[in-house]
A and B are shown apart, each in its own frame.
Chain A
Amino acid sequence: MTLELQKPRPIWQIMFSTHHTDVGLLYLISSLTFLFLGGSLALGIRAELFLPGSQIIADSMTFNRIFTVHGTTLIFLFIIPFASAVGNYYVPIMVRYKDMAYPKLNAIAFWMIPPAGVLIWLGFADFTWYATPPYSIISAPGPAADMWIFGLKILGISSVLGALNFVVTILKCKHPDMSIGQIPLLAWSFLSSSLIIIVAIPTFAAALLMLLTDRLGVSGFFNPAMGGDPISYAHLFWFTFHPEVYVLVIPAIGMMYEIIPRFSRKPIYSYNSGIFAFVMLSIVGFSSWAHHMYATGMSFTEKTVFMVGTLAAVPASAMHVFNFVATMWNARIRFSTPMMWAVGGIALFFSAGAGGVVNSAMPLDFTTHDTYWVVGHFHLFVMGTIAFGSIGFLYYMFPYVTGRMYNETLGKIHFVLSFIGTVLVFFTQHVLGLYGMPRRIYDYPPIPEWIAMNQIASIGAMIIGISMAVFLANMIHSAGKGKLADTDDPFGLGGKYYYPFEAKNPSH
């Protein structure tokens, strides 16, 4: 269950292991590495945008490459693998099975991630993480663009293989005495997100292949000069990636379903609502993709249909928020580090959703589309909800994985700094977007309001950077030299609401 043996275990044994705890650990280390790599790029972006003109980045091509890889890395190489890490570690335990359904496939799915990461990072393409044609076909230089396409293809396959594994493990390998209505909500969240992946990702895989053949000049799917339509790529892309944002958020909400009831020392307010909300979100999430395309020239009817689809998903998300708040109501809450992160995450999730309602309203979207409002909005989701939930869960998992406790004070400092920084950066960016600053720009005209808000955002980003340094130090030091944890009840909660943490690793 833990990192190492007193009798040392060779690293190659972990690397070639197929046991779910080892694969989970590999996913964990890889995703955290990419968190820091992608996060450093973000610091670079914010440092550059501190003032108009060139600060630390010499030209716009470099800047374009940096934000492309920033987005690609954090979504595909941090958030998804981190969720896989948690899933790999806990899903077999939660369904009382000895391992994942296909352990070797599991390991293969992990090992696709480092080569894909290398392809993406070596090339450093410049066409944003959407890779929208026609730019990505006729204007984006290679081989960086082609490497990105191959890297994402590999990651897509990895995701689908992992998702298949989760679905089969949960549905087919769960303990015979356990009904589907008894597995923890964290397991339900993996079931939902895996089902979404299986339905949604193949569309993007097709789009990537078409993009590649278009770049080679062999086909003309999205290239108007060869008879194609760029908007069809947008449809294919967003058909995958709107549900994909639910793939990103649902596991994080699932993680909060572990943390919040436990630290409130109360059962979840409504387990059934949790299941219902996850399933609803997964299904309704497929009906709203073209709200990303309001400005492409769709007809009034099309826009209305997608607006309705978008708004229909809001009650499901709102149900989760209600569930959490109702669980915490009148509870004897223990605000340890994981709980702080989960609660902060819920608050930011609510703000992100509220801002999203503005975007979904058709005419309002024309004010906010492709401005910093959108940047602030989605970062409140990916940073404010997903990263907060993930990091909180990481603190929660720490004693179980390493057998030691992290430093609680540093953990709380990490949270406070991150929360302040996140609010400073992303709330400000909403306002910046209302003032009209477009996305993905290397430089901006010296409008005083823009400069002031960019500076606030950059300061917030530096605060987040400092907090992450604290985090790194805490994790590394505590993994080696932290106080030994009581694995029955590391947080001193009374131990009444746990399920047993038993994982028998055959190599131990």
Chain B
Amino acid sequence: MSGHSNWPEWIYVAVVIALMAWVGAEAWEAERLVEHVPADAKTIIATGQQWFWTFEHEDGTKEIGELHVEVGKAYKFEVVSTDVNHSFNIHDYVVLIDAIPGRVNTVWFAPDKVGEHDIQCREYCGLIHYNMRGTLYVTEPTS
């Protein structure tokens, strides 16, 4: 049924495979860098529950619905949930990790500019998932 030469198809498939290999390699390298948590990152426990976020800093300070961090410092979130799946997301800093009851997931970031950003839940968790939001305040360092 194919009485003609196939070389255009072979070349095309080779190009596609090369492209996919390149995407894969770049992604692998980027993810490797992204997952390396700096040693001096301060830990913040982020707890998701229906339908709000609470945060606990290393020094015991607790915040509900708001998170205050300082510019230029690295923070490591330990994300937990008390009821159903949620997903902790600070979109502007591409912070995203699921909050799964029964386990602790980790993600880190280092904000580099003073400002306010939205925290949202990115995993369907029921009635008020749409409003399970918070605010991240990045402030100048106090010391």
Contacts and interface: CB of A to CB of B under 8 A. Distances in A.
When A and B assemble into the complex, do they touch directly, with CB atoms less than 8 Å apart?
A: yes
A231 B102 CA distance: 10
Contact of B23 (A133, A229, A361, A440): A361
- Of A128, A271, A307, A436, chain B has the most CB atoms within 10 Å of the CB of A436
A138 B131 CA distance: 20
Given A134-B83, A135-B84, A270 B9 contact: yes
A311 B12 contact: no
Interface in B1-58: 1-2, 6, 8-9, 12-13, 16-17, 20-21, 23-24, 26-28, 30-32, 34-35, 50
B99 to A, nearest CB: 9
A326 B13 CA distance: 13
B83 A139 contact: yes
Nearest to B95: A366
Interface string B55-75: 000000000000000000000
B96 A366 contact: yes
B35 A326 contact: no
Given A270-B9, A440-B129, A441-B130, A363 B30 contact: yes
Contact of A362 (B30, B89, B124): B30
B117 to A, nearest CB: 10
Contacts of B84: 134-135, 138-139
A112 interface: no
Contacts of A139: 50, 83-84, 125-126
A296 interface: yes
Given A135-B84, A135-B85, A442-B130, A369 B122 contact: yes
A225 B34 CA distance: 32
A64 interface: yes
Counting contact residues on chain A (CB < 8 A from B), the size range is 35 or more
Interface string B109-132: 000000000101111111111110
Given A134-B83, A230-B101, A363 B6 contact: no
A297 B103 contact: yes
Contact of A326 (B9, B31, B85, B89): B9
Interface string B86-107: 0101011011111011110110
Nearest to A442: B130
Contact of B27 (A269, A307, A440): A307
Interface stretch (A17-25, A97-105, A312-320): A312-320
Nearest to B86: A135
Contacts of A271: 1-2
B94 A367 contact: yes
B53 to A, nearest CB: 14
A61 B96 contact: no
B27 A361 contact: yes
B24 A311 contact: yes
A64 B127 contact: yes
A492 interface: no
A341 B83 CA distance: 46
B133 interface: yes
A202 interface: no
B34 A318 contact: no
Given A60-B130, A272-B1, A438-B120, A361 B26 contact: yes
Given A295-B98, A362-B30, A369-B96, A444 B23 contact: no
Contacts of B26: 361
A273 interface: yes
Contacts of B20: 311-312, 314-315, 357
Interface in A432-458: 436, 438-445
B28 to A, nearest CB: 6
Counting contact residues on chain B (CB < 8 A from A), the size range is 35 or more
A229 B127 contact: no
A61 B21 CA distance: 44
Interface in A351-368: 357, 360-364, 366-367
A357 B21 CA distance: 11
A273 B2 CA distance: 10
B87 A370 contact: yes
Contacts of A445: 118, 133
A134 B101 contact: yes
B16 A296 contact: no
A304 interface: yes
Nearest to B96: A366
A360 B27 CA distance: 9
Nearest to B102: A224
A362 B6 contact: no
A505 interface: no
A360 to B, nearest CB: 8
Contacts of B128: 60
A132 interface: yes
A478 interface: no
A371 to B, nearest CB: 7
A56 interface: no
Contacts of B130: 60, 440-444
Interface of B: 1-2, 6, 8-9, 12-13, 16-17, 20-21, 23-24, 26-28, 30-32, 34-35, 50, 83-85, 87, 89, 91-92, 94-98, 100-103, 105-106, 118, 120-131, 133
Given A295-B123, A366-B95, 6 more contacts: A268-B1, A269-B2, A295-B98, A315-B16, A367-B91, A438-B120
9 contacts: A134-B84, A138-B84, A267-B1, A270-B1, A272-B2, A295-B97, A364-B27, A370-B87, A436-B91
Interface of A: 60-61, 64, 126-128, 132-135, 138-140, 224-225, 228-231, 267-273, 295-297, 300, 303-304, 307-308, 311-312, 314-315, 318-319, 322-323, 326, 357, 360-364, 366-367, 369-371, 436, 438-445
What 7 A-B pairs are tightest by C-beta distance, nearest first?
A: A224-B102, A436-B91, A361-B27, A441-B130, A297-B105, A135-B84, A311-B20
